[in-house]
Amino acid sequence: MPNFVFVLIGIAVLAAIFFFLRSKKPESAEEDALDGEKPQKLPAKSSAPSVRPQPEKAAPSPKETTPKEQTRAEKAEKVEKVEKAAKAVAIEPQEAPAKPTAAEPKEAPKAETKRSEPARISTKPATPKRPKDVAGLRRGLARARETEGFFGRLKALFTGRKEIDPNIAEQMEEILLSSDVGVSTTQELVDAVKGKLSRGELTDEAKVWEALRGKATELLDNGGGALVFENKPTVVMVVGVNGVGKTTTIGKLATRLTREGSKVVLAAGDTFRAAAVNQLLVWGKRAGCEVVTGAEGANAGAVIFDAIQKAKEIGADVVLADTAGRLHTKTNLMDELKKIARTMTKAMDGAPHETLLVLDSTNGQNAIQQAALFKEALPLTGIVLTKLDGTAKGGVILGISAEHKVPVRYIGVGEKAEDLRDFDAAEFVEALLGSASESSDRAA
């Protein structure tokens, strides 16, 4: 019996040892799973490589960090953040003074303006108003002032007599008509003088002369003068039939604007002749401005589109776009120009901001007809009358201003850059017909 009891005790002790050992195993397994450096003893355990700790060691999961470690990590993160912020503050002041350095003193404020004002409205005209230069203009209008010219023949009518020739109005009419003033404008001028004569307001020839001059100034004074470049860039489309002086006018204007400090881009929109492109390149080189060209026969609209993009890119003030005066294709010139204008609008809202029609004053009445055709097709904002130095019939300017009511912006009195003059009605009339104080100078 006592033997049986010993056996029972022995079994109980063995069972106790067994359960004790069983209860210890899971703990060590858990430890093994968390500690990757411990070699895996049991193949069953090593069959779970996902819990292999190497990567976890490199980037421990929050689960594994103790509260102490977490606080340390948070602190380190905070310190890092503060250091980063401090660095940023240190960099900014270094970059800020770098902006207004000598390299780009002009560009920086321009970029600011661009962001706040999509279309810059300038308060100053790009071409400052020039002082009157009647003498200079008179030299340019020399031919019209010759004995056989417009002024010369009118002058001969007024001999400074006290008594007025009763036929003076009719004689004036004949001279005006033969000087390209045009029928309706001549009528307007003559009627103004006749009206005053019939009311007895004109007591001598000097007064008649003065009345004629006054009416001429009134007809010419319809808001003309140099363009004011309100947009950045202001896109100017230059149109006109072939040979009138479009390219030359663009070259002259570019020279002047560049000299005055404006950034100009020329667009070689006359792609039908290689010579036209070269002509513009020569002017561009002389003026010192960028010229955007395309291959011969390229789409004119595309070339001008590129020029506008270029102007925007480099912050130019003005784009002067040349166009062809005659097409070698069957396309209608007016349709082609309208198409080009539409492409320009795609490149920049509101473009072309100005459409200048160039007319050759030696074309006389033809120039007046051309103005009518172009005005019908395009929203003209100004006229440039060229070659006034080459005609004895300066009267065409009166006909164009009065009949079409399109302001004359510039006049050309020669081939050189300085021969493009801002049009001023009073100055022009004074140069051609003399001033009020010069009544006795009509023979000047």
Ligand X SMILES: Nc1nc2c(ncn2[C@@H]2O[C@H](COP(=O)(O)OP(=O)(O)OP(=O)(O)O)[C@@H](O)[C@H]2O)c(=O)[nH]1
Residues that bind ligand X (CB under 6 A): 240, 242-248, 270, 276, 325, 386-387, 389-390, 412-415, 419
* C-alpha span between 236 and 238 (Å, rounded): 6
How many residues in the shown chain lie near Mg ion by CB under 5 A? 3
Q: How far is the CB of 391 from ligand X (least distance, A)?
A: 9
The option from Mg ion, ligand X, none interacting with 359 (CB < 5 to 8 A, set by class) reads none
Q: Which is nearer to Mg ion, 215 or 246 (CB)?
A: 246
DSSP string, 169-187: HHHHHHHHHHTT--HHHHH
Q: How far is the CB of 387 from ligand X (least distance, A)?
A: 4
* C-alpha span between 21 and 123 (Å, rounded): 97
Radius of gyration from C-alpha coordinates of the chain: 44
Q: Which of residues 223-252 bind Mg ion (CB under 5 A)?
A: 246-247
Q: Which is nearer to ligand X, 340 or 348 (CB)?
A: 340
- CB within 8 Å of 250: residues ≥ 6 apart: 238, 266, 280, 283, 320, 322
Residue nearest to Mg ion (CB): 247
* C-alpha span between 400 and 383 (Å, rounded): 9
Angle at which helices 333-347 and 365-377 cross, to 10°:
50
Q: How far is the CB of 251 from Mg ion (least distance, A)?
A: 10
Q: How far is the CB of 275 from ligand X (least distance, A)?
A: 8
* C-alpha span between 353 and 276 (Å, rounded): 23
Q: Which is nearer to ligand X, 114 or 375 (CB)?
A: 375
Q: How far is the CB of 280 from Mg ion (least distance, A)?
A: 7
Angle at which helices 150-157 and 425-433 cross, to 10°:
60
- Asked if 322 and 266 touch (Cβ cutoff 8 Å), the reply is yes
- Asked if 294 and 266 touch (Cβ cutoff 8 Å), the reply is no
The option from ligand X, Mg ion, none interacting with 245 (CB < 5 to 8 A, set by class) reads ligand X
Task: Identify the helix (H) or strand (E) that includes residue 359.
Answer: strand 354-360
Q: Which two tokens stand for residue 325?
A: 């005066």
Q: Which of 190, 202, 219, 276 binds Mg ion (CB under 5 A)?
A: 276
Q: Which is nearer to ligand X, 202 or 380 (CB)?
A: 380
Question: For residues 186-222, b (16+ Cβ closer than 10 Å) or e, as one string?
Answer: bbbbbebbbebbeeeebeebbbbbbbbbebbbbbbbe
Residue nearest to ligand X (CB): 412
Residue 323 is a binding residue for Mg ion (CB under 5 A): no
The option from Mg ion, ligand X, none interacting with 165 (CB < 5 to 8 A, set by class) reads none
Q: How far is the CB of 327 from ligand X (least distance, A)?
A: 10
Q: How far is the CB of 129 from Mg ion (least distance, A)?
A: 29
Q: In terms of DSSP bridges, do strands 408-412 and 420-422 run parallel, antiparallel, or are they unpaired? A: antiparallel
Q: Which is nearer to ligand X, 357 or 368 (CB)?
A: 357
Q: Which is nearer to Mg ion, 276 or 433 (CB)?
A: 276
Q: How far is the CB of 400 from Mg ion (least distance, A)?
A: 21
Q: Which is nearer to Mg ion, 185 or 248 (CB)?
A: 248
Q: Which is nearer to Mg ion, 177 or 298 (CB)?
A: 298
The residues that touch Mg ion, with contacts defined as CB under 5 A, are 246-247, 276
